[in-house]
Amino acid sequence: MPPVFQPFDEATASRGQLQPPPVHADNPPLIPGDVCVGCIVWLPPKDVNRPSIRCVNESCCGKRELDDGGHNHPVVVLKIRQKKGSIVIGDLICTVASVTTFSGTSLSKYLSRRRRRQASIPIFDPEATALTSPRAASLVQLKMEDGRLKKQSYIRLQHTYRIPVSMLGQYAYRNSRAYKRRLSYESYCALMELLSLPPEKYEVTASLYETENQRLLDLARSSLPSVVQAHRAAHPVTNPTHPSHYGGGGTIPARPQAAGYIPPAHTYPQIRYHREPESHGDGIGGGGGSFVWKCVAGVVIVGLAWWNFWRTPSTQR
């Protein structure tokens, strides 16, 4: 995949930008249907009452915990999954990478210290003009699909983390949507290649609000096989016995349903009651025609007796 090259102007790369939301401001919670790969959202300050966030790259650090400086910062969403064992719509887990400003480091300073920050890549700022240094001409940068971030930012490449969507907030603390700040398709794919991760489906941003319900339902259904097996083990479905021909009729108990259960694409097989085989026998004592044969035989016997009675002379009666 071709790299993304964007020029910068060294004179304007370090100029002041809009400040990120203050630490005490509460970023609005994410709407699960707005979350998409490549979008940039906000990880709030560290909460000691929540489980620690650890790296999921098995080959790099052995589940290293995200340091305090990584909290209260943006993150970019790389992958989206339904929470394991959950069938609640919108109960998502996002694989993310940290986004940082390196304490307000301008692009020119970043270039001079690049050797110490090789495991990162800058995000292009469209309001800056081209840098003139030869080193900047070959600098690979990622592009936003639309708009820009508040400050010159960089994506860290060494670690990735899995974070519940319920822990994340909007990048902006005013009216905003997660997909409003999103890497372009080409930049998302380039980032995933740098991370040695397969890219996921990049939904068209303009259609996200139309596909929200179906996407969330598909994610919830993706975790159903193991959940259904556990549900069936806890509530086994048995075939009811066929009621007796001479016994009183009974009712069949309804199948138990889990609260908030989402119907899977393939539901439980329908229960088929046992049916008595239809008889095609010719014997009197066998099959469903035995009663008819008995009636015919009775009529014949009575008819013969009656005919024999009238044949006998009256003197012999």
Distances (CA, A) of 312 to 60, 303, 307, 309: 115, 15, 9, 6
SS3 123: strand
Domain assignment present for residue 160? The answer is yes
With a CB cutoff of 8 Å and minimum separation 6, the contacts of 307 are none
Whether 119 and 158 have beta carbons less than 8 Å apart is answered as: yes
In this predicted structure, the answer to whether residue 4 has a pLDDT above a threshold of 60 is no
Phi, psi of 228 (to 5 degrees): -65, -40
Tokens of 170: 């909007």
* Predicted local confidence at residue 174, as pLDDT: 72
How many domains is the chain partitioned into structurally? 1
Quickly count: other Cβ atoms within 10 Å of residue 17's Cβ.
Answer: 17
Domain assignment present for residue 135? The answer is yes
Whether 104 and 151 have beta carbons less than 8 Å apart is answered as: yes
* Predicted local confidence at residue 289, as pLDDT: 53
Higher-scoring residue by pLDDT: 292, 56? 56
Cα 60 to Cα 259: distance, rounded to the nearest angstrom? 41
With a CB cutoff of 8 Å and minimum separation 6, the contacts of 205 are 36, 145, 146, 179, 182
pLDDT in tens, 114-128: 767 779 999 998 776
* Predicted local confidence at residue 309, as pLDDT: 66
Angle at 9 between CA 15 and CA 22, to 5 degrees: 30
Cα 215 to Cα 82: distance, rounded to the nearest angstrom? 11
291: part of which helix (H) or strand (E)? helix 290-311
Domain containing 56 equals 32-221
Q: Which residue bears the tokens 């006998």? A: 312
At 84, the amino acid letter reads K
Higher-scoring residue by pLDDT: 232, 97? 97
Domain assignment present for residue 286? The answer is no
Domain assignment present for residue 285? The answer is no
Tokens of 274: 């046992």
At residue 271 the predicted structure's pLDDT band, cuts being 50, 70 and 90, is very low
pLDDT in tens, 182-210: 999 999 999 999 999 999 999 999 999 99
Look at residues 251, 256, 201 and name the one whose alpha carbon lies nearest to residue 228: 256
Provide the whole-model pTM.
Answer: 0.65
Domain assignment present for residue 44? The answer is yes
Rounded average pLDDT over 305-310: 65
C-alpha 177 chain-centroid distance: 19
At 157, the amino acid letter reads L
Between 92-96, 162-166, 173-177, the lowest mean confidence (pLDDT) is in 173-177
Percentage above 90 pLDDT, the chain: 42
* Predicted local confidence at residue 25, as pLDDT: 52
Domain assignment present for residue 25? The answer is no
- Per the prediction, the chain carries an average pLDDT of 75
Quickly count: other Cβ atoms within 10 Å of residue 233's Cβ.
Answer: 8
Look at residues 156, 158, 186, 197 and name the one whose alpha carbon lies nearest to residue 73: 156
Rounded average pLDDT over 50-71: 85
Whether 159 and 57 have beta carbons less than 8 Å apart is answered as: yes
Whether 216 and 34 have beta carbons less than 8 Å apart is answered as: no
Higher-scoring residue by pLDDT: 206, 60? 206
In this predicted structure, the answer to whether residue 313 has a pLDDT above a threshold of 80 is no
Distances (CA, A) of 145 to 74, 80, 186, 205, 224: 17, 19, 9, 9, 34
In this predicted structure, the answer to whether residue 237 has a pLDDT above a threshold of 80 is no
Domain assignment present for residue 289? The answer is no
Between 5-14, 139-148, 200-209, the lowest mean confidence (pLDDT) is in 5-14
Pick from 9-18, 145-154, 199-208, 292-301 the range whose average pLDDT is largest: 199-208
pLDDT in tens, 245-268: 434 444 434 433 333 334 444 333
* Predicted local confidence at residue 227, as pLDDT: 53
Domain assignment present for residue 277? The answer is no
At residue 153 the predicted structure's pLDDT band, cuts being 50, 70 and 90, is very high
* Predicted local confidence at residue 206, as pLDDT: 95
